[in-house]
């Protein structure tokens, strides 16, 4: 169980850190995503900060398990919001979203299994 916990935590942290980096550096892909979802570009730094905080929270969770659980839950909610944004504009291109969502949900489940519910 420990190996699965460490692997999924590092994988989820890496995925969200890369996404945060693209948002915080003003890469064209997040801009196109915001345009497609009809959201203002002023949200890019905020969304990037949330992703970065989640990524760091997952890693801090190795020392403080509660932080990992809270970061995982926060990232799950973030990606539920992303799904709502996709569906709101009729976007059915959800492969990228699904990869992120499944990864953070799996990390949350394994984290809760490894550390216990509280």
- List, for residues 48-100, the tens digit of each pLDDT value: 999 999 999 999 999 999 999 999 999 999 999 999 999 999 988 899 999 99
Q: How many CA atoms lie within 13 A of 3 on its CB side?
A: 0
Band the pLDDT of 118: cuts 50, 70, 90: low
CB 47 within 8 A of CB 16: no
- From 102, 82, 103, 105, select the one nearest 93 (Cα to Cα): 82
C-alpha to C-alpha distance for 109 and 60, rounded to whole angstroms: 17
Q: Give the three-class secondary structure for 40.
A: coil
What does the pLDDT average to over 26-52?
94
The overall average pLDDT reported for the chain is: 94
In terms of pLDDT, which residue wins out, 73 or 115? Answer: 73
What would the two tokens of residue 2 be?
């420990």
Q: What backbone torsions phi and psi does residue 59 show, to the nearest 5 degrees? A: -75, -35
Sequence-distant (6+) residues with CB within 8 A of 113 are 1, 5
Name the nearest CA neighbour of 79 among 8, 19, 11, 5: 19
Give the global pTM.
Answer: 0.92
pLDDT of residue 115: 85
């Amino acid at each position: 169980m420990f190996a699965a916990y460490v692997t999924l935590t590092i994988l989820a942290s890496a995925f969200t850190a890369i996404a945060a980096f693209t948002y915080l550096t003003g890469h064209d892909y997040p801009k196109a995503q915001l345009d497609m979802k009809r959201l203002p570009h002023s949200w890019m730094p905020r969304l990037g900060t949330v992703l970065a905080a989640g990524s760091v929270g997952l890693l801090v969770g190795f020392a403080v398990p509660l932080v990992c659980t809270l970061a995982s839950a926060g990232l799950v909610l973030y990606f539920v919001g992303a799904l709502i944004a996709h569906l709101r504009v009729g976007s059915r291109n959800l492969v990228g979203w699904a990869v992120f969502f499944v990864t953070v949900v799996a990390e949350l489940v394994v984290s809760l299994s490894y550390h216990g519910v509280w």
